[in-house]
Amino acid sequence: MIADLTIALDEIKTLKGIVPICSGCKKIRDDKGYWNLLESYIEKHSEASFTHGMCPECMEKFYGKNDWYIKSKKKQTLET
């Protein structure tokens, strides 16, 4: 158990302090004043990496009025 905890602690890299983030687009301002995508900033300052998907609310927001999306949702409903 102690060995596992030691390994886990070695893998932790923590962001500290205040992170200036745009409340609109969620970009983060770095120390040089440049605005960076949230994912890029976190990947650069930690050992985390990202994979992207889309939550159901955003799927509706971005695709909800498209015929192909409406048909796909109806198909999924019939299959379940």
5-30 tens-digit pLDDT: 887 777 666 667 788 999 999 999 98
Q: Which residues contact 28 (CB under 8 A, 6 or more apart)?
A: 19, 20, 21, 22, 35, 36, 37, 38, 41
**Contact in structure between 48 and 14 (CB atoms under 8 Å):** no
Higher local confidence (pLDDT), 49 or 35: 35
Record the pTM.
0.54
pLDDT of amino acid 7: 77
pLDDT of amino acid 13: 65
Q: Is the pLDDT of residue 31 over 90?
A: no
Q: How far apart are CA 41 and CA 71, in angstroms?
A: 38
Q: Is the pLDDT of residue 40 over 70?
A: yes
